[in-house]
Amino acid sequence: QVQLQESGPGLVKPSETLSLTCGVSGYSIGYYWGWIRQTPGKGLEWIGSIHDSGTTYYNPSLKSRVVMSGDTSKKQLSLKLSSVTAADTAVYYCARTRPGGSYPFDYWGQGTLVSVSS
């Protein structure tokens, strides 16, 4: 059974870097792992995905501020989003992407709320 758990600060100051970790149990190789966020105003927004090989794919609208990485030995993923503003306040999810076809997000973490405020 695959389980994902996001963790990180719930409050980040404007202009600082948001850093989140996603722990994965039931980890197996060959998958993509994605970060998605949800705001009341913009709904669900894909941030990016990382493959076990380390290849990353980022949403073009966030690409300049996003860095994703993975540690297969620790079964952890990380997300860094720099120069945050209030618009980055959202619930952040990590999710597994099943390869092939429409690459669906088949397992999700419970999500973690990150607020950007001074």
Partner 1 sequence: DIQMTQSPSSLSASVGDRVTITCQASQDISNFLNWYQQKPGKAPKLLIYDASNLETGVPSRFSGSGSGTHFTFTISSLQPEDIATYYCQQFDNLPLVTFGPGTKVDFK
Which spans of this chain sit near partner 1 (rule: CB under 8 A)?
A: 32, 34, 36, 43-46, 48-49, 57-60, 63, 93, 95, 98, 101-106, 108-111
Sequence-distant (6+) residues with CB within 8 A of 100 are none
- Least Å distance, CB 87 to partner 1, is 17
Pick the closer one to partner 1 by CB: 27 or 107. Answer: 107
Pick the closer one to partner 1 by CB: 65 or 98. Answer: 98
- Least Å distance, CB 107 to partner 1, is 8
Give the residue ranges of DSSP H helices in the chain.
none
Please check whether residue 78 is in contact with residue 54, taking contact to mean a CB–CB distance below 8 angstroms.
Answer: no
Looking only at the bridges linking them, the beta strands covering 90-97 and 11-12 are unpaired
Pick the closer one to partner 1 by CB: 19 or 59. Answer: 59
- Least Å distance, CB 73 to partner 1, is 25
Pick the closer one to partner 1 by CB: 46 or 52. Answer: 46
Measured in whole angstroms, the distance separating CA 67 from the mean position of its chain's CA atoms is 10
Which token pair is 39? 């705001």
Question: How far apart, in whole angstroms, are the C-alpha atoms of residue 5 and residue 24?
Answer: 7
DSSP helix/strand/coil, 36: strand
